[in-house]
Amino acid sequence: MRFHLLRLLVCTLLFSVAAMPVYAADTAGDKADIRVAFINPGYGTKGFWKDVRDTMQAAADQFGFDLIVFDSDRDWKMMIESAEKVFALDPPPDYIIAVNEHQQGTRIILEAQERGIPVIMLLNDLTKEQKDTYGYPGRDIKNWILTLTPDNERAGYDIATSLIDGARLANNDHLPRTLCLLSIAGDRKTPASLQRLDGLDHALSRYPVLRERRRLVANWSYDEAYRQTAAWLERGECVDAVWAANDDIALGAIAALEEAGRVPGKNVFVGGLNWSSAGLQNVKEGKMTLTHGGHFFAGAWVMVLLHDYINGVEFLKENHEISFRMEAVTRENLDYFEDVLLSRDWSRIDFSRFSIANSSPGAEYHFGLQPKSDREELDRNLPELRR
């Protein structure tokens, strides 16, 4: 009974109206027959969500979609307003791309269902609790056609193991008995943050050399990570390694460590995630063990999936929840990634080559910048994570 009342409440909630849409430039001309609205939970001018937005735009241009973006500046109220603006479009969009940021995805899906608009969830899926209450894509909620998420658990695991590798390399292939680990999470709610922590926990159980001394939450913020790391160091606590949920957190921790006289890459080891320009530079300088990432390419990958869905790819009729492996950029492979990542000219990438619309039956998706053969070799050598 409680679940029915909750669903009724969500369905009847009215979104306030304030945010104005940002119409992306249409370079596809007369081909732009399909209108796609993206409810961007972040900023359109900076940071991770700008990269998501930009890769999505590059791929949309190539596939001839008319992309309309509503930026929400990491403000959950503004995100609700952005959703209402999407539903007020006349004519309505053909498809909506949404994110379960602040766990607002359910109300967007249900509101779209009332209007018969297909929805694709991107990057942050509904939680298991939300799905158990309201339903699953394709099966229970027909207009929820697809979900595309990165393997955040694997990324969290890889960041942790890179800290061990960094310490071993700096100590001529010898490891100290333990590495005092300071872990700094993004937040306590989003599926992406929780899954990265699951990967960290698996690494902690597998490698006792990592001894977690404290787990903090920095709300994805450089400033908060700097403040909390500095406070930890001022108390004289042991820190040999920092597991950071994203690059901003890693960079804030590095600033505090350097201020305290530590030398990242020499006597303390830091790993992050986002493939940010600053993160890549710190990897190049040896201050970070890696910047994991590639998940902002989900903006482009979701356009590939939409193109294939519209073109009747059989795989997508049976597989509504799709995950893709992120990639770790280290000093060893930085040269391979550096050119395209530092220029950030996503139009140079031919996104049609990731489509399987014209492939033989049984083809699967391989999303990433590394060649398919290299990724398959990597997959064979990776340990299985607990599920």
- Report pLDDT digits (tens) over 249-306: 999 999 999 999 999 999 999 999 999 989 999 999 999 999 999 999 999 999 999 9
Mean pLDDT of the chain: 88
The HSE-up count of residue 2 (CA atoms within 13 Å, CB side) is 1
Q: Record the tokens describing residue 74, joined without a space.
A: 């990491």
- Write the CB contacts of 271 (distance below 8 Å, at least 6 apart in sequence): 159, 160, 162, 163, 166, 242, 243, 244, 250, 288, 289, 290, 291, 292
pTM of the model: 0.81
28 phi and psi angles, rounded to 5 deg: -95, -5
Q: Is the per-residue pLDDT at 213 higher than 90?
A: yes
Give the pLDDT mean for 123-151: 94
Task: Give the Cβ contact number of residue 35 at 10 Å.
Answer: 15
How far is it, in rounded angstroms, from Cα 336 to Cα 17?
45
Q: What is the pLDDT of residues 139-197, one digit of tens each?
A: 899 999 999 999 999 999 999 999 999 999 999 888 888 999 999 999 988 888 999 99
Q: Is the per-residue pLDDT at 12 higher than 80?
A: no
Q: Record the tokens describing residue 72, joined without a space.
A: 């929400």
Domains of the chain: 2-150 (3.40.50.2300), 153-293 (3.40.50.2300)
Q: What is the pLDDT of residues 55-100, one digit of tens each?
A: 999 999 999 999 999 999 988 899 999 999 999 999 999 999 999 9
How far is it, in rounded angstroms, from Cα 235 to Cα 224?
17
The answer to whether the CB of 63 falls within 8 A of the CB of 36 is no
Q: Is the per-residue pLDDT at 132 higher than 50?
A: yes
What's the pLDDT score for residue 373? 52
- Write the CB contacts of 199 (distance below 8 Å, at least 6 apart in sequence): 152, 153, 154, 155, 156, 157, 158, 159, 160, 385
- 269-273 vs 65-71, strand pairing mode: unpaired
Band of pLDDT at residue 6, cut at 50, 70 and 90: very low
For the stretch 314-325, what's the b/e string if a residue is b when 16 or more beta carbons lie within 10 angstroms of its beta carbon?
Answer: ebbeeebebebb
Q: Is the per-residue pLDDT at 26 higher than 90?
A: no
What's the pLDDT score for residue 385? 58
What's the pLDDT score for residue 374? 54
